[in-house]
Chains A and B, each alone.
Chain A
């Protein structure tokens, strides 16, 4: 039987397209290739990670000492709001979307996602949303300042300024982008798997991506509704969130957290998936309790829809509702524990090596555990009444999102970049990145537990010198500089590796899954032939288990690839025009913005028509 490499050399299969791909910049604007869209998402995520980090650095400087006057009042609140909004929606989520775009089709042996143009539409809508949110700095000279949770009535016309309009407008676009992406990837994973890839043979990372796509598709609608109600309140004078005429500010909290809690799992599950892919490779054995890890992720996804009220224990829902949400929240500890134990089980009796990817993946385990354990405390209402909205909570979710989600994504970058660029990242710089970052974030976030215990609420721009919060705040701020240095080292490493990195080859880590079977970077059509999957670890068994070689076909197949298209961008741009019209509906500087809504609506109709009639 011919080897895979021989087949590639001999056959040189040529895919065909209705219209050839463009080149240069035009290629990036019109591409529907999941790999290119993945790179766009990942690049945007990294850019906003730096912006969000800069925002954090600025407000941590303000908090380094008591009674400072560098960023006060709504300037500080704006930095806090945009730090969280940026990190959640514009940094971590697009990085996840980047991995999901690039690797889900490769891991399941597909040629692209199920709806390539919808995928491009998701990206361009995300792009429009990210610009809209931040545009308030340009047009109003201020950031939205109501917190990333945007609790009404602080966001209503009476109390929130024009930047809030940019906030709901941008978030609405991001919500559309995520819902579309969710549907697209659910269909992709369920329908485009290679022959032989049963659901239990789907890699854990892809499984976690499947779970979060369901979460995106079902959790964004409530917040989108909430945002549209807010837009109506602000633009047309409705009173959904104002008490004067029968509205209720709690409506927003329920709609927001019904989205917000599943969102937390959207942020963490992919990193759990990445860790579950990396550990087996560098321990050189299968993931311990592979099925248990998958089912725990699915279970977390389901339970995630029933726990949102634990964000509202102080809101006065009443003891019955509090008791219900406390109980459901406590349940989350069980599948999370199962995952942690299985990762430890994978390490046990293995033969580990520690490249940077593995360092980040293993350090995920204790750091995430710490964040999870402090989370158990908040699940207990008698205790949460003290901890809610304090720095203890800030410490908790940064351990989960930085020690967990971000470390997982860093691990993913070191592990998967060689596939994307064909070049290995520098290991020395990687180790500097890892150790400095690990020290930096513990120095920053661990003292915040103490600050919370000592009574410091979150989102305060200053504090008195005699409250007993001076030392911990100074330590926390010093850690941010270490994290900044580490992250810049990483970006430098990433950029220089593109030019100077060692060639990776197709399978630099001696890995398990299909994406390592094809060249690095993969060709446009991903695989020269459709792989037939015979086990949970198709590539590992191909290499090490006699009788499980991936069969190489005699002849090349006909490969049809989707054509480049402008239409997704047109639809996104038209939707953006509608949003800008709503945002300026009653006029800016005397010029009413509502005609833009009509222009945008016509644009959407025409470009959708052009989209559906365009030959692929």
Chain B
């Protein structure tokens, strides 16, 4: 066989060696945040539809270019000893016109539906339906979630209902953040001084993770989000969650929890955190919103914005030295003793 063919075969082997680990990578792991393979909301379904459209188109173009490319570099090598010149050709106007017009048509063909999808996503939801409206405030490095109508203020873990329209109003208290839970919707910046809507309708019951997608300082990587989509009825329904959240905080029941409550009230935690019925938010004051509302902190899956699993041990570790868990964390290191940290953890874990 010719040299050209041999080296082509080598190159194919090299390509295969390259592709193999990638294919393995794609197969052996679960991808719980894959918006295209498993969209779980109407907004991400639109994105996934466009992804597939562009992927098919791009694959066709790329394969075409690569076939032409390899055909050319295999076929049109200089043969040893052949010193004649190839045809000195400066181009072909018919070809130029063709490969200007065809891409123009392709671009037109994809831009029209793109604009359709864009306006579809920007559409204001029909106001004559049940809408869960939530004010979202990005803060370094957690999310304040305010359900104005329901009177619920919470952080980081958002609860919504399957099949019900959700409308977020995004803003920020400091720098620019971006709200992103891939399987439910695309991202939207939370910009200080501005208020942007983000609409989606969840279609699946379950927990969906995401995180801040705009560089926002030292702990940008640790500004996670979880959205819990509840079923419409049953013991775990959205309505029963709302009812539960509207109740005040659980009373400290054990001596340990009571000691923890004392630490909470006396050591400074209360300067930034609200606990309904224990440390209320003074009317008009925002001072107790610099940290998340902890009224039902015990019922969350994670603490420190999806950074640690919500266990008493992790709470103790977090309150004892916040900066060790999250670099630059704004929660002060209050110099709690091991016992104080344990007590606070017991107190907070009880706030189911």
A→B interface (CB under 8 Å): 72-74, 76-77, 145-147, 151, 153-154, 158-159, 243-244, 247-250, 283-292, 314-316, 318-319, 322-323, 326-327, 330-331, 333-334, 337-338, 340-342, 344-345, 347-354, 362, 365-366, 369-370, 373-374, 376-377, 379-386, 388-390, 435, 439, 442-443, 446-447, 450, 453-457, 459-463, 466-468, 470-472, 475, 544
Q: Which single residue of chain A is at the shortest CB-CB distance from B44?
A: A386
Docked CA distance A151–B186 (Å) = 20
B→A interface (CB under 8 Å): 14, 18, 21-22, 24-26, 28-37, 43-44, 46-47, 50-51, 54, 57-58, 61-62, 65-66, 68-69, 72-73, 76-79, 82, 84-92, 95-96, 99-100, 103-104, 106-107, 110-111, 114-115, 117-122, 140, 174-176, 178, 180, 182, 185-189, 191-194, 196, 209-222, 327-328
Q: Which single residue of chain A is at the shortest CB-CB distance from B65?
A: A369
Whether B176 and A462, one on each chain, are in contact in the complex, defined by CB atoms closer than 8 angstroms, is: no
Whether A344 and B91, one on each chain, are in contact in the complex, defined by CB atoms closer than 8 angstroms, is: no
Interface CB pairs A-B, < 8 A, 30: A73-B218, A243-B192, A249-B192, A250-B191, A285-B88, A286-B88, A289-B96, A292-B100, A315-B189, A331-B107, A334-B100, A340-B65, A347-B69, A362-B73, A369-B61, A377-B51, A379-B114, A382-B120, A386-B44, A386-B182, A388-B178, A435-B14, A453-B51, A459-B215, A459-B220, A460-B221, A462-B221, A466-B32, A471-B24, A475-B21
A327-B86 in contact given A338-B99, A383-B51, A455-B34 (Cβ < 8 Å): no
Whether B188 and A316, one on each chain, are in contact in the complex, defined by CB atoms closer than 8 angstroms, is: yes
Whether A249 and B176, one on each chain, are in contact in the complex, defined by CB atoms closer than 8 angstroms, is: yes
Whether A386 and B110, one on each chain, are in contact in the complex, defined by CB atoms closer than 8 angstroms, is: no
Q: For A352, list chain B residues within 8 Å (CB).
A: 73, 76-78
Docked CA distance A288–B122 (Å) = 44
Whether B103 and A347, one on each chain, are in contact in the complex, defined by CB atoms closer than 8 angstroms, is: no
Whether A319 and B85, one on each chain, are in contact in the complex, defined by CB atoms closer than 8 angstroms, is: no
Whether A289 and B187, one on each chain, are in contact in the complex, defined by CB atoms closer than 8 angstroms, is: no
Whether B89 and A349, one on each chain, are in contact in the complex, defined by CB atoms closer than 8 angstroms, is: yes
A475-B174 in contact given A288-B91, A352-B76, A366-B69 (Cβ < 8 Å): no
**A contact patch SS:** helix
Q: For A377, list chain B residues within 8 Å (CB).
A: 50-51, 54, 58
- B37 nearest CB across to chain A (Å): 8
A330-B219 in contact given A349-B86, A383-B54, A455-B33 (Cβ < 8 Å): no
Docked CA distance A453–B121 (Å) = 20
Return the 7 tightest CB-CB contacts between A and B, nearest first.
A385-B186, A243-B193, A455-B33, A73-B327, A460-B221, A73-B218, A382-B117
**Choice from A292, A382, A447 contacting B91 with Cβ under 8 Å:** A292
**Choice from B110, B174, B178 contacting A153 with Cβ under 8 Å:** B174
**Choice from B14, B29, B140 contacting A468 with Cβ under 8 Å:** B29
Whether B176 and A151, one on each chain, are in contact in the complex, defined by CB atoms closer than 8 angstroms, is: yes
Whether B176 and A154, one on each chain, are in contact in the complex, defined by CB atoms closer than 8 angstroms, is: yes
Whether B115 and A327, one on each chain, are in contact in the complex, defined by CB atoms closer than 8 angstroms, is: yes
Q: For B114, list chain A residues within 8 Å (CB).
A: 326, 330, 379-383
Whether A314 and B77, one on each chain, are in contact in the complex, defined by CB atoms closer than 8 angstroms, is: no
Q: For A459, list chain B residues within 8 Å (CB).
A: 215, 220-221
Whether B78 and A475, one on each chain, are in contact in the complex, defined by CB atoms closer than 8 angstroms, is: no
Q: For B106, list chain A residues within 8 Å (CB).
A: 333
Q: With contacts A331-B107, A366-B69, A386-B35 known, what are 13 further pairs, Cβ within 8 A?
A: A147-B215, A285-B87, A291-B91, A314-B187, A315-B191, A316-B194, A322-B118, A344-B72, A350-B76, A382-B186, A390-B213, A468-B29, A471-B24
- A481 nearest CB across to chain B (Å): 15
Q: For B89, list chain A residues within 8 Å (CB).
A: 285-286, 288, 349
**Choice from B35, B194, B221 contacting A455 with Cβ under 8 Å:** B35
Q: For A248, list chain B residues within 8 Å (CB).
A: 193
Whether A333 and B103, one on each chain, are in contact in the complex, defined by CB atoms closer than 8 angstroms, is: yes
**Choice from A337, A376, A385, A447 contacting B22 with Cβ under 8 Å:** A447
- A507 nearest CB across to chain B (Å): 16
Docked CA distance A316–B51 (Å) = 21
Whether A370 and B62, one on each chain, are in contact in the complex, defined by CB atoms closer than 8 angstroms, is: yes
- B92 nearest CB across to chain A (Å): 8
Docked CA distance A455–B103 (Å) = 31
Whether B31 and A77, one on each chain, are in contact in the complex, defined by CB atoms closer than 8 angstroms, is: no
Whether B90 and A286, one on each chain, are in contact in the complex, defined by CB atoms closer than 8 angstroms, is: yes
Docked CA distance A337–B57 (Å) = 14
- A291 nearest CB across to chain B (Å): 8
Q: For A72, list chain B residues within 8 Å (CB).
A: 327
Residue from A377, A453, A459, A463 whose CB has the most chain B CB atoms within 10 Å: A453
Whether B24 and A289, one on each chain, are in contact in the complex, defined by CB atoms closer than 8 angstroms, is: no
Docked CA distance A249–B21 (Å) = 43
- A284 nearest CB across to chain B (Å): 6
Docked CA distance A358–B191 (Å) = 48
Docked CA distance A472–B31 (Å) = 12
Docked CA distance A316–B191 (Å) = 9
Docked CA distance A444–B140 (Å) = 31
Residue from B32, B78, B212, B220 whose CB has the most chain A CB atoms within 10 Å: B220
Docked CA distance A232–B92 (Å) = 55
Q: For A318, list chain B residues within 8 Å (CB).
A: 122
Q: Which single residue of chain B is at the shortest CB-CB distance from A246?
A: B193
Q: For B26, list chain A residues within 8 Å (CB).
A: 450
Whether A351 and B77, one on each chain, are in contact in the complex, defined by CB atoms closer than 8 angstroms, is: yes
**Choice from A287, A319, A347, A369 contacting B62 with Cβ under 8 Å:** A369
Q: Which single residue of chain A is at the shortest CB-CB distance from B48?
A: A386
Q: For A285, list chain B residues within 8 Å (CB).
A: 85-89
Docked CA distance A322–B47 (Å) = 15
Q: Which single residue of chain A is at the shortest CB-CB distance from B306?
A: A464
Docked CA distance A489–B219 (Å) = 37
- A343 nearest CB across to chain B (Å): 9
Docked CA distance A101–B18 (Å) = 38
Docked CA distance A350–B36 (Å) = 43
Q: Which single residue of chain A is at the shortest CB-CB distance from B62?
A: A373
Whether A468 and B25, one on each chain, are in contact in the complex, defined by CB atoms closer than 8 angstroms, is: no
- B176 nearest CB across to chain A (Å): 6
- B219 nearest CB across to chain A (Å): 6
Docked CA distance A461–B219 (Å) = 8
Docked CA distance A333–B87 (Å) = 30
A381-B69 in contact given A373-B58, A462-B221, A471-B29 (Cβ < 8 Å): no
Whether B187 and A385, one on each chain, are in contact in the complex, defined by CB atoms closer than 8 angstroms, is: yes
**Choice from A316, A348, A365 contacting B76 with Cβ under 8 Å:** A348
**Choice from A292, A365, A447 contacting B69 with Cβ under 8 Å:** A365
- A544 nearest CB across to chain B (Å): 7
Q: Which single residue of chain A is at the shortest CB-CB distance from B72?
A: A347
Whether B46 and A374, one on each chain, are in contact in the complex, defined by CB atoms closer than 8 angstroms, is: no
Q: Which single residue of chain A is at the shortest CB-CB distance from B58?
A: A373
- B85 nearest CB across to chain A (Å): 6
**Choice from A288, A342, A374, A386 contacting B58 with Cβ under 8 Å:** A374
Q: For B219, list chain A residues within 8 Å (CB).
A: 73
**Choice from B32, B82, B107, B215 contacting A146 with Cβ under 8 Å:** B215
